[in-house]
A and B are shown apart, each in its own frame.
Chain A
Amino acid sequence: MSTQAASRPRSPSTGASRGVHGVSDNQVLLAPAERAIQMIGGDLTEKALRRHLEGLPGVDAVGLEARAASLATRSIKTTSKQWALDAIIRMIDLTTLEGADTPGKVESLCAKALTPDPADLTTPRVAAVCVYGDMVPHAVEALGEDSGINVAAVATAFPSGRSSRTIKLADTRDAVAAGASEIDMVIDRGAFLAGHYGLVFDEIVAVKEACMRPDGSYAHLKVILETGELNTYDNVRRASWLAILAGADFIKTSTGKVSPAATLPVTLLMLQVVRDWHTLTGERIGVKPAGGIRASKDAIRYLVTVAETVGEEWLQPDLFRFGASSLLNDVLMQRQKMNTGRYSGPDYVTVD
Chain B
Amino acid sequence: MSDQHTPEQVTDAETTAVHAEPRQEAEARLQPIKWKFPITYALLALLSLSAFTFLSPTGAVTQFRLATGSDFVALPAVNVPSFAGALVLSLLQLAMAALAIYCAARRIKLGVWLPMLFGLFFVLAFLIYAGAGRGAFIPVVTLLAGALMLSVPLIFGAMCGLVGERSGIINIAIEGQLLAGAFLAAVAASFFTSAYVGLLAAPFAGAAVGGLLVWFAVKYHVNQIIVGVVLNVLVIGLTSFLYSTVLTQNSELWNARQQLPRLPIPGLSQIPIIGPVLFNQTILVYLMYVIVFALHILVFKSRWGLRMRAVGEHPKAADTVGINVPRTRIFNTVLAGGIAGLGGAYFTVGQGLAFGQEMSAGQGFIALAAMILGRWNPKGALLAALLFGFSTSVGQVLSTIGTPVPSEMLLMLPYVITIFAVAGFVGRVRPPAAEGVPYIK
| Chain A bound to chain B | no
Binding site for B on A (CB under 8 A): none
Please report B residues at the A interface, Cβ cutoff 8 Å.
Answer: none
